[in-house]
């Protein structure tokens, strides 16, 4: 409190020359920032790179202004005074500001790189969406971790002091953070091993969903009705689930249909093949040539003859695995009507036996 009072009194008691020098110093910092930005813009042509450089220069300028203000406006230089001792390291305001700024700058730097630099690399080498998300996450973790370590080492912080903190953290993990750490480690394993990736279509608890984001503790997926499910990362390593996009995005779709007894089964087979190929030509080129469509005579049912047609699609986006079979059923009904093939409905024959008198 005494240091703060001295700081305020120093500001109030200084003469005009003191203030002019202070303002001149701030202006010089801003001019230097503006000049550096101008020089770099002349040398750099890419729009993405310019925005990236602007972001970094702005944050560095802000940090220099903060340190300059603290240093200039106090005669006691309390910015370097020891607040408390952590292990063998003296904690000062400049140390706290440096670490805070380093973390903020690292976050901003990683965000700028992910927005303006990495997309260019991804596009150049054709990196898929899932790998992009994994690399972005790894890059953010790495930059923030390195920023903290480098900033602590550069200002003389004794990293051995962290062993005390690590011991306390270890006890906390042992008693109360097992689940959190389990999900965190699971998230790292998922990013390395990639059993799921951003953009994959999965089935969890009989719900079809798309993976939207893999975070530190949990994975966010979006269901068909636009709900978001927050699933702990450990689930994907410990439980069974279906990943329809794991090796490729192709999907086999079966469509079943019954025809009445007495129907020309060879004509039915021909019509089912025709409907698939016509649908491919007219509406859905996503139906692939290989593997070829297949028609099966499944069984003799109670009410009719059971057939099924199988075909493959090359993409599961835009709910095509539901829209394509729906369009195919419409087409099958139309073709059956044109060829006088009826679809039976459940029926039973009831025989009434008169009771003997």
Q: What is the DSSP letter of 116?
A: I
pLDDT surpasses 60 at 2: no
Residue 214 has pLDDT above 80, yes or no: yes
Is the Cβ–Cβ distance between 211 and 131 less than 8 Å? no
The H-or-E segment that residue 335 falls in is: helix 320-338
Element holding 43 (H helix, E strand): helix 16-43
More confident residue, 141 or 231: 231
Q: What is the pLDDT of residues 255-289, one digit of tens each?
A: 999 999 989 999 999 999 999 999 999 889 889 88
Residue 93 pLDDT exceeds 80? no
Average of per-residue pLDDT across 81-103: 72
Angstrom CA distances, 38 to 31, 32, 42, 55, stand at 10, 10, 6, 14
How long is the chain? 357
- CB 293: neighbour CB atoms within 10 A? 19
333: confidence class by pLDDT, cuts 50, 70, 90: very high
Q: What is the pLDDT of residues 120-157, one digit of tens each?
A: 777 777 776 666 777 777 777 788 778 777 776 766 66
Q: Which of 69, 143, 51 is nearest to 102 (CA)?
A: 143
* ∠ CA 278-282-286, rounded to 5°: 90
pLDDT score, position 120: 76
| Euclidean distance between CA atoms 301 and 265, whole angstroms | 14
Omega within 30 of 0 (cis) for the link into 291? yes
The one-character DSSP state at 354 is P
Compute the distance between CA of residue 307 and CA of residue 300 in angstroms, rounded to an integer. Answer: 9
């Amino acid at each position: 409190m005494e240091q703060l009072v001295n700081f305020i009194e120093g500001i109030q008691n200084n003469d005009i020359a003191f203030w002019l020098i202070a303002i001149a110093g701030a202006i010089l910092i801003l001019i230097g920032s503006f000049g550096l930005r101008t020089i770099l813009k002349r040398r750099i042509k890419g729009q993405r790179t310019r925005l990236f450089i602007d972001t970094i220069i702005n944050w560095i300028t802000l940090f220099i202004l903060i340190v300059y203000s603290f240093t200039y406006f106090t005669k006691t230089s309390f910015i370097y005074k020891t607040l408390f001792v952590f292990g063998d390291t003296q904690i000062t305001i400049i140390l706290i500001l440096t670490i805070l700024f380093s973390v903020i700058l690292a976050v901003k730097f990683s965000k700028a790189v992910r927005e303006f630099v990495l997309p260019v690399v991804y596009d150049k080498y054709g990196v898929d969406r899932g790998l992009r998300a994994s690399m972005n996450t790894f890059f953010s973790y790495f930059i923030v971790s390195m920023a903290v370590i480098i900033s602590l080492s550069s200002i003389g912080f004794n990293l051995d002091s962290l062993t005390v903190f690590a011991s306390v953290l270890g006890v906390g993990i042992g008693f109360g953070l097992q689940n959190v750490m389990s999900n965190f480690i699971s998230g790292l394993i998922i990013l390395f091993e990639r059993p799921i990736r951003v953009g994959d279509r999965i089935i969890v608890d009989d719900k079809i969903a798309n993976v939207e984001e893999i975070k530190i503790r949990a994975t966010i997926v979006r269901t068909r009705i636009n709900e978001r499910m927050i699933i702990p990362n450990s689930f994907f390593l410990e439980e069974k689930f279906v990943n329809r996009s794991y090796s490729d995005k192709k999907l086999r779709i079966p469509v079943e249909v019954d025809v009445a007894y007495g129907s020309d089964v060879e004509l039915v087979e021909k019509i089912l093949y025709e409907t698939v190929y016509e649908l491919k030509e007219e509406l859905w080129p996503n139906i692939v040539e290989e593997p070829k469509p297949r028609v099966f005579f499944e069984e003799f049912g109670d009410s009719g003859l059971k057939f099924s047609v199988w075909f493959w699609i090359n993409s599961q986006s835009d709910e095509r695995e539901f829209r394509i079979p729906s369009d195919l059923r419409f087409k099958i009904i139309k073709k059956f009507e044109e060829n006088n093939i009826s679809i039976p409905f459940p029926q039973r024959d009831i025989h009434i036996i008169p009771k003997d008198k």
